[in-house]
Amino acid sequence: GAVVSQHPSWVICKSGTSVKIECRSLDFQATTMFWYRQFPKQSLMLMATSNEGSKATYEQGVEKDKFLINHASLTLSTLTVTSAHPEDSSFYICSARARKETQYFGPGTRLLVL
């Protein structure tokens, strides 16, 4: 199957700082990338959908000014958590798919905000 990577795999930051997470499709061109968040013992929740070269579409209740998404190329999307707070601590997972193809997921990034 297709390979999606994320970097970093885990990050610890101080409250009020910003954190950037990268998502890359390694062996295919991803026309669409998705960002999910997963809290302990809960299922994945879709945060936003991004298409290459256009603005991301955010799910209801997700603050677009807090979670900045950039999808500048067909192999890279970034999620920036701005002014992170302890309640933003979570497992962030991206997925990517080529046009009209299956979604493949990255390994996830664990964020801890102190």
Query: What residues line the site for other proteins (CB under 8 A)?
Result: 1, 4, 6, 32, 34, 36, 43-46, 49, 91, 93, 95, 97, 99-108, 110
Q: Closer to other proteins at the Cβ: 54 or 102? A: 102
3-state secondary structure string, the chain? Answer: CCCEEEECCEEEECCCCCEEEEEEECCCCCCEEEEEEECCCCCCEEEEEEECCCCCEECCCCCCCCEEEEEEECCEEEEEECCCCHHHCEEEEEEEECCCCCCEECCCEEEEEC
Q: Least CB distance from residue 100 to other proteins, whole Å? A: 5
Q: Least CB distance from residue 105 to other proteins, whole Å? A: 4
Q: Closer to other proteins at the Cβ: 4 or 113? A: 4
Q: Least CB distance from residue 48 to other proteins, whole Å? A: 11
